[in-house]
A and B are shown apart, each in its own frame.
Chain A
């Protein structure tokens, strides 16, 4: 009995050991997210959570963009033109405050950044300070513990990507040049994938998320907002005094704010509270410039600029960059009372009218 168990154990250990070594070797060689080296076999990918650490480790830049989908349309070439040097867009679609702070932290640790542009989406920073997107966030890519690298080397999704990338590279002889020549700077750009304007906004809103639903069960404690801003924004800023931080509140459409205020008053209040907290904690910092574009007239009041109620077109992204460079709409602590304050917000019938007008608006040629 002992003898058969011995051969069984040897078999299982040999099989598992050999398989593990093969997988580790494949993953380390292909390195699908370019974590260890600038692998010529790996394709750049638009998944910011996974790909940003690879960009940060394998490319050199002095200007970075952090944020959510609101900042994915910033063009590196424009950033380079305005701020000089080389730029990287390191946004994370629907990124939490913690995820953004970890990305910023890694970029600041690995690179010498002169300027960091950070789009502060209120929804990201009202969450618990340490919240990340569950298992979708690969925390092991954001630390320097070599033991955690096993999660990278032993990840089934990474193996799949490695095999896919490898197959892609083998498929044609020129693939190697194609892969290495692939741009890493506009990976997340979605500006040309959507239509903008009323009919498209409503079609998209209705088919995907709909208008903000009526809900009054949203509770977020003040302490949560304070700690999120403090742990994720303030701590990052204070740890890197040599970098200039350009923080901004994105220009959501006026209709979105109105709907939020009417249908989800508690979330609306939390967003406003968050914006005030950012002003209180960040504006005293010497290396911070804070911009508030939430009331940017000509943009927020014109739905032709949007693909849904919050996502604006690439032209607006360019406009925001220019305004930040010119110092327009900059907020100081003296303006605390005006931030997150929307005195002329539509109410009741006006909202309904705006929605129905939008629904009936003809498509623009």
Chain B
């Protein structure tokens, strides 16, 4: 369970990233966060694993405050939270397997990881994760040789190998074409239902949000302006979130899928 209590974030330049956010997210939910760029979607997501420090309020992961956690317990909390980025954030020169194994660093002692001596159990886990996203045959390939969609699946495999209880995905499909977008979303949905992993995802396309999620959160100027089921998220609701009617490029479009 993730709880956000009166969370605000003010950037040093005075920009209000988040304003008084209160949310409770249960285990196993598939949550899409939608809103204009600059509405605070990324800030919200990065606050949850404290890649961004919030200015006030408290965020608790399974009853443990990440906001006030020290270095060591912060790392332990992060160990259970996977993150998937828009531009994959893989080390392109490293092999696929090494990128997936990097998800296991916090499970092992530092010296072992530095010497690249991961236990066999971890290697098995990584290989299995690659198989689940259908790129097992690429395990020893250099990541730079993979297509965008395959690279994003590597980062999903990393979150799987990490045995994450929560996956945060920051616009994971923004640099992908419609077909790969669908595959990546299917992978995330599968992990969500089969492994009961909570998925929180920032999305640009509102139709994807409606199709995949169990709950949609709308952000506008750092405030939650909508929080409900996909069924409740009507076109009027989106107009409220976006401050205008939807544009063509905010819909992936059925014909593309």
The answer to whether A and B come from one shared complex is: no
